[in-house]
Structure 1
Amino acid sequence: MSTQSESALPPERTRRPRIAGIGRVLVVIYAILALGATGRSVVQILHQFNDAPVAYSLSAVSAVVYIVATIALVARGAIWYRVAWVTISFEMLGVLVVGTLSVTQPELFNHASVWSYYGVGYVFVPLVLPVLGMIWLATHKPVALSQLPADETAQSETGATK
């Protein structure tokens, strides 16, 4: 029999999920895009690469971005939080650049990629998703970052030191 009372025992750490609610929806959408872009790019590269190497290479890049973003959104910790920011920011830039180029210089894209015409082949989800992802990341900082004072959080996020 134990001499220590139950109230003297340290409370168990409760692990809450890294993502919940709309965050789970974002992860599911990112995972679906990761699968779709990966499948599309593999088939295109294996069977038609010479027809449109730029477009098919961009499909492969978008697949990697969606895979890494999915993992980063699910994983815990400040490093993965930063990885999510980098990949989702890169995704936004990619969609805007490729989308704009596909409209202004369509000859560069003989065939569509995931991001061409701002993701029209994916019902513009590639255009909207990074915006939602950035909003979610901005409002769901990891505990380690959200507990720091504001000036230390800014330094931590930029990598600056005193």
Structure 2
Amino acid sequence: MTDTERTPAAATGRKQPFDLGTGPGRVLVWFYGVFTVAAASRSIVQMILDFGKAPLAYVLSAVAALVYGFITYSLVRGGERARRTALVCCAAELAGVLIVGTWTLADPSAFADATVWSDFGRDYLFIPVILPVTGMIWLRRARTA
């Protein structure tokens, strides 16, 4: 092992890479992983069994699953580029939750069945609206660490 490898990053003036999936990030990885599986499972079953009933709702749930999966992957991958990408995805997720949540309250007849983001995620204990906000706070903190 060379002296450079033994010297802490702070002593050499290099910033140590921030691991997005540690500490509170680990909880986010867990929640996003669970929501990826939940949203994907829900949308796949609904699309297979009764796609004609509510295609918009089922496709939106599939989109939510993709967004959750991508954020999970970015948090696990780590690094600055993944952090920025996850931050953009969390903002898009929050926009989706707010748009779909407002839409389902303003015009309930537009959705023949609920999506993951319906009523701001009421069926999921409002976690779909809390999760992206929490994610963005963590990802912004990770930038300065």
CA–CA separation in structure 1 for the residues paired with 2:69 and 2:62: 11
Does 1:11 find its partner at 2:13? no
Q: Percent identity?
A: 41
User: How high is the TM-score relative to the length of structure 1?
Assistant: 0.78
Q: CA deviation at 1:12?
A: 4.3
CA–CA separation in structure 2 for the residues paired with 1:134 and 1:17: 15
Whether the 8 Å CA contact 2:97–2:129 is kept in 1: the answer is yes
User: How high is the TM-score relative to the length of structure 2?
Assistant: 0.87
- Specify the structure having the higher radius of gyration (Cα): 1
Structure 2: state its 5+ residue gaps: 9-16
* CA 1:16–1:94: 2 relative to 1, 3 Å: closer
The C-alpha deviation readout for 1:102-159, integer Å capped at 9, x for no partner, is 0000011110000000001111000100110011011111xxxx59xxxxxxxxxxxx
Q: CA deviation at 1:22?
A: 1.1
Q: CA deviation at 1:85?
A: 1.0
Partner of 1:151: none
Q: CA deviation at 1:38?
A: 0.5
> Partner of 1:27: helix, strand, or coil?
helix
Structure 1: state its 5+ residue gaps: 1-5, 148-162
* CA 1:95–1:103: 2 relative to 1, 3 Å: same
1:71-150 to structure 2, matched below 5 A, reads 71-141=73-143, 146=144
CA–CA separation in structure 2 for the residues paired with 1:55 and 1:18: 32
* CA 1:121–1:34: 2 relative to 1, 3 Å: same
Amino acid at match of 1:11: E
Partner of 1:47: 49
CA–CA separation in structure 1 for the residues paired with 2:136 and 2:18: 21
Root-mean-square deviation (CA, aligned residues, Å) is 2.0
Structure scoring higher RCO (CA < 8 A, sep ≥ 6) equals: 2
